[in-house]
Chains A and B, each alone.
Chain A
Amino acid sequence: MSDDRLIGTNHVPKDLIAKITGRARYAEDFRAEGMVFAKILSSPVPSGRVRRLDASAALDMEGVLGIITADDVPEVSGNAEPILTNRPLYQGQPIAAVAAVDETTAAEAVERIQLDIQRLPFALDPLDSLIEGGPDGRDEGNVFQDGEVSRLKWSQAEMDRFEGEAFPEDLPVTDEWSIGDLDAAFAASDLTIEEGIVFQSQTHHPLESRSALAYWRNGRVHIHCSTQSVSQTRRAFAGTLEMDEEDVVVVGEYCGGAFGSKIRGSLTDLIPAYLSRKVGRPVMLRVTRDEETAFGRARPGFQGWIKLGIRSDGKVLAVDSLVIQDNGPFGRSGDMAMVGNVMSLAYQPEAMRHRATPVYTNTPPRAAQRAPGGLQAGAMVEPLLDRAAEELGLDRLDVMKINAPRGRARFGPNQNELTSAFVPEAVDRIRELFRWDEKKEWNGRTNGSKVTGVGVGYAPFVGGSSGFDGLMVVRPDGKLYIHQGIGNLGTHSMLDTARAANDVLNHPWEETEVVWGDTGKGLPWSSTQSGSQTTHAHTRANHATATLLKERLQEIAAMDLGGSPADYDVGGGRVFRVGSPGTGLSFAQAAARAMELGSAFDGHELAEDLDPMTVHAVERIAGQGLVAAAKDNYSHDGSTWSSVITACVVEVDRETGVIDLQEIVSVTDCGTVLNPRSLAAQVHGGVIQGMSSALLERWAFDTRWGANSNRRFYTAKPITILDVPSRPLEFAALDMADPETPVGARGIGEPPVGAGAAALVSAVNNALGQHVNRTPITPDKVVALLEGARPGYRRMQTHV
């Protein structure tokens, strides 16, 4: 078609002006007439039972409007997380919430609530709970198995095996899968590596806390919140509130970071909703940074073992993995399963066994955090391939390439197939772009007290779902309005995926408006903005919808100007006769005609397979122009994953233990590139976040009281601008289309995190000539290593 395709070109996101002038409104920037303020009474103990809660003194205070407790919100069953509780399972869990005319009054009212809470035994470390006689994180038990909470205990002998020097072959676990003949694969291996592995839990800490505003009007609830996904949040809220979706309005125009902690908003977003209904005023809940540490979600940490069987040419033949997941108090995080899938995909072993157990602890609740399981795999396991390369006398990139998934590679317990993978090409590209052969010689080079390390790491992660809806309308002003149910969390997918429609219609971006953020405007059913699925899912949905829109334009033109639809083409804001472009209709004219024609042209008749949310969205705009709504019914044969390989140069100061990042280069296989600059941001941002995890982030609990000391940025500092190399980061994208999706694009948000962590750990190992297998690699750990105190498999003194 034309060379003016928008896909693949940079554009400045249309919302950037609002962001950089202060006009963009995040949840807490909204106001409502008569707004009052909420403060939360949270649990002072990590595990407790409320014996008595007397709010009379609080309610007697002037300016206090009301209180909600667990009795005012839905009960939950099983291991689900309640909005408010009388049985807190982590310190900081919300017990009640008070509304008052101002925040100081609300806070004082909270102080005046008389709370008699029975302190109960708690578990901070999964191993403390697994040992016979140890405390259980929940009343019903300490693990989750076969769909319910149950109890699993290890004898001292079993715990000794887990904490010992050798890979534990045989331990009771809740989950296990295997493929191939593990014994034969290890027997055929020339090198066996066994390592204890640990990865720390870490708080998401988005810069914007999850403040929320809610009010009720004519039976509808309006909730302004910070959320990754808009349409899906609306459905989730409606479910919890037991209301029709139609009566729930979600406003989430800008989300100041989330990284998985606000996939469908947050449970706490409903606290102002329930309070507002009770007191009859709009309620604003401002969430503090301390509260973000308590209930703002965290990544589950792991403790476990890896055993790899590797052939002399570097091919991984066997993987035997064991992961004990620090699960927090609720649900069951998918990290423990995902880490198995990632290893299976990344190393393509002939045989694999993966054992895992989620253990409940009375620590902050968990949620997926950018590459759940994937970051852990990158940091814990990728560096072991460095050891293998060294012991076998092989080049690290050769080892990476021989194992890398390619084509329709298989993975996991069911050996699912990928849609495509071009990872060997990515290995070749990083070798060239980073000048690997030259720079790997820098390992161990000293400069005073500093020593150079060069490392590389590979990480795959999921990147695409399908089957969601698109909605767009050409209005009588001649513009194309693309409605996105996608949230705006800063990845730019909300805007980039719209451009798939522009390419189908050959339509100028300047004549396009994207409608998003407020479900009241009529937004279609969308994927969640998680799992890096949006780029794939919504280029497809918008492609399908634009294709339908084009057909309608062609039909209208044929109707009015003669001939058949196939005689017409669309472009530049017109539908025109092929070969005689002067004959045609402008978009504005076509819109007016659609409104005259009604039925399938202006949204009054719709396809039957649309999601009810989309149907209701169309009802808001039916009759206002040429309306097209379509479901993505394109075939999607296989599982969609993307990959990143990152190489870096670091300098480690052997006297202080400080690690200095000097150069970072990445290559990505993520299908067709939508927007090169946004892609670079996702890759570099993810890589730096992964390095932040590997260098800095962890918790430190007071084991006596179960209190987390990392409450704010001062004690939980993420990576800063001083830590990134002053030399600009580089990257390249293979830009090789995925064949199972029309636009060819796969997601990218998550693969970089594991690659960044892996590269960092690899580089530090190479610098020190030692093997660090525990993150975060803080300066004290480096110094301890160099002094010969090797952190290994033993239980830590402090739970971090």
Chain B
Amino acid sequence: MSLVDILSADRTVSRRTFIKGVIAAGATASSATYLFRSPAMARAQGAPGAVERLVTLNVNGQQRRVDVLPQETLGMTLRYKLGLTGTKFGCDRAECGACSVLLDGVPHYACSLLTHQVRDRQIITIEGLASPGGDLHPVQQAVYDEAGFQCAFCAPGFIMAMVGALQVNPNPTREEMAQALSGNLCRCADYDKILTSAMRAAEYTRLQA
């Protein structure tokens, strides 16, 4: 079963079956391996089926060329191939939001996007918010001014979600802000301060506009 077949099936394929299926097909891999096979091994197996491709991704305003496997998630590509470790894996299963990035300005879970699917989209990660000169994005500045977050493992995901939310609704109530951020977990339970930071972020965003 090829990747195309899998993706166009009526979604009855489980994630586990999918990944195993691709492994069985002998997927090739790129050089900076993490999860996937080294090129030498793949060649030795004369792998049929899914093929790696060199793609161009638009990440943080830059064009990045990278080898990407069909089953590779955006989170994997960002963290393990592009050196952008700010995006975190909390669960790798779309249950916590720590891996949130912006795709054309809309928050998405990077653990649950295939990199191949997002080749033509504008991807912004936490590393792409501050200016090249180091000036913080208004949302980051707001978090700083309120000393938001504790262990901060959830912070990059929350901040990206805030940026995305404020692009849609720059003048939210505190309840609306909570709704917009409901895709992100904070185990330290810093939610009260995170919301206060987010409301200040809204204020700074409006001022900047």
Residues of A within 8 A of B (CB): 10, 12-13, 16-17, 19-26, 28-29, 37, 62-63, 101-105, 108, 205-209, 254-257, 259, 288-289, 489-492, 677-678, 680-681, 684-686, 688-689, 692, 712-714, 718-722, 724, 726, 728-729
Q: Which residue of A lies closest to B199 (CB)?
A: A728
Which residue of B has the minimal Cβ distance to A688? B189
1/0 per residue, CB under 8 A from A, across B26-53: the answer is: 0001000111111001001000000000
Known A20-B144, A207-B187, A490-B149; contact A680-B193, beta-carbon cutoff 8 A? yes
Known A22-B85, A256-B151, A692-B189; contact A721-B181, beta-carbon cutoff 8 A = yes
B189 touches A713 (CB 8 A): no
| Closest Cβ–Cβ distance, residue A756 to chain B (whole Å) | 9
Selecting from B5-13, B112-120, B154-162, the interface stretch reads B154-162
Closest to A664 in B: B192
- Say yes or no: A103-B193 contact (C-beta < 8 A), given A254-B152, A489-B151: no
Of chain B, the residue at the smallest CB distance from A106 is: B35
Closest 5 CB pairs of A and B: A22-B86, A256-B153, A490-B151, A490-B150, A19-B152
B137 to chain A, nearest CB (A): 9
**Given A207-B153, A257-B187, CB of A684 within 8 Å of CB of B182:** no
Given contacts A22-B87, A726-B173, A728-B195, 5 further A-B contacts (CB under 8 A): A12-B144, A22-B126, A254-B151, A257-B151, A713-B96
Q: Does B143 contact A (CB under 8 A)?
A: yes
B150→A681 contact, CB < 8 A: yes
- Residues from 95 to 152 in B contacting A, C-beta threshold 8 Å: 95-96, 98, 125-127, 129-130, 136, 140, 143-145, 147-152
B67 at the interface (CB under 8 A from A): no
* Minimal beta-carbon separation of A684 from chain B (angstroms): 5
How many B residues touch A, CB cutoff 8 Å? 65
Q: B25 interface residue, CB < 8 Å from A?
A: no
B96 CB contacts on chain A under 8 angstroms: 207, 713
- Return A111 CB to nearest CB of chain B, in Å: 10
B169 at interface, CB cutoff 8 A: no
Closest to B90 in A: A207
Asked whether B37 lies within 8 Å of A105 as measured between CB atoms, the reply is: yes
Residues of A within 8 A of B179 (CB): 722
Are A16 and B190 in touch, CB under 8 angstroms? no
Instruction: Name the contact of A718 in the complex, choosing from B178, B187, B193, B194 (C-beta under 8 A).
Output: B187
Residues of B within 8 A of A713 (CB): 90-91, 93, 95-96, 185
Which of chain A's residues has its CB closest to B173's CB?
A726
B161 to chain A, nearest CB (A): 10
Chain A residues near B140: list those with CB within 8 A: 20-21
**B191 part of interface (Cβ distance < 8 Å):** yes
The 8 Å CB contact of A102, one of B38, B145, B153, is B38
Interface centre among A104, A205, A688 (most CB of B within 10 A): A104
B93 & A712 in contact (Cβ 8 Å cutoff): yes
Question: Which residues does chain B contribute within 8 Å of A686, judged by CB atoms?
Answer: 189
B154, closest chain A residue (CB): A207
Q: What residue in chain A is nearest B153 (Cβ atoms)?
A: A256
A689-B189 contact in complex given A207-B98, A678-B147, C-beta closer than 8 Å: yes
Q: Which residues of A contact B34 (CB under 8 A)?
A: 37, 102-103
State whether A205 and B23 are in contact (beta carbons under 8 Å apart), knowing that A20-B140, A681-B193 are contacts in the complex: no
Bound-state CA distance A28–B34 (Å) is 12
Contacts of A719 in B (CB 8 A): 189, 191
Q: Can you list 20 A-B pairs, Cβ within 8 angstroms, ordered by A?
A: A22-B126, A62-B41, A101-B38, A207-B88, A207-B90, A207-B153, A208-B153, A289-B93, A684-B189, A685-B150, A688-B191, A689-B188, A689-B189, A714-B93, A718-B185, A720-B182, A720-B185, A720-B191, A721-B184, A726-B178
User: CB distance A684 to B84 under 8 Å?
Assistant: no
Which residues of chain B come closer than 8 Å to A492, judged between CB atoms? 150
Give Cα A62 to B174, complex, Å. 55
The smallest beta-carbon distance between B197 and chain A, in angstroms, is 10
Query: Mask for B170-209, Cβ within 8 A of A = 1, else 0?
Result: 0001110011011011111111111110000000000000
Question: Chain A residues with Cβ under 8 A from B29's Cβ?
Answer: 102
Which residue of the partner chain, among B90, B144, B196, contacts A208 with CB atoms under 8 Å? Answer: B90
On whether the beta carbons of B149 and A208 are closer than 8 Å, the reply is no
Q: How far is the CA of A688 from the CA of B193 in the complex (A)?
A: 12
Instruction: Tell me which residues across on chain A come within 8 A of B84, comparing CB atoms.
Output: 22
Query: A729 contacts B192, CB within 8 Å?
Result: yes
Inter-chain CA distance A506–B87, complex, in Å, is 40
Establish whether residues A24 and B152, one from each chain, have CB atoms under 8 Å apart when the complex forms. yes
Given A19-B155, A20-B149, A490-B150, does the pair A684, B85 have CB atoms closer than 8 Å? Answer: no
Beta-carbon contact of A721 and B194 below 8 Å? yes
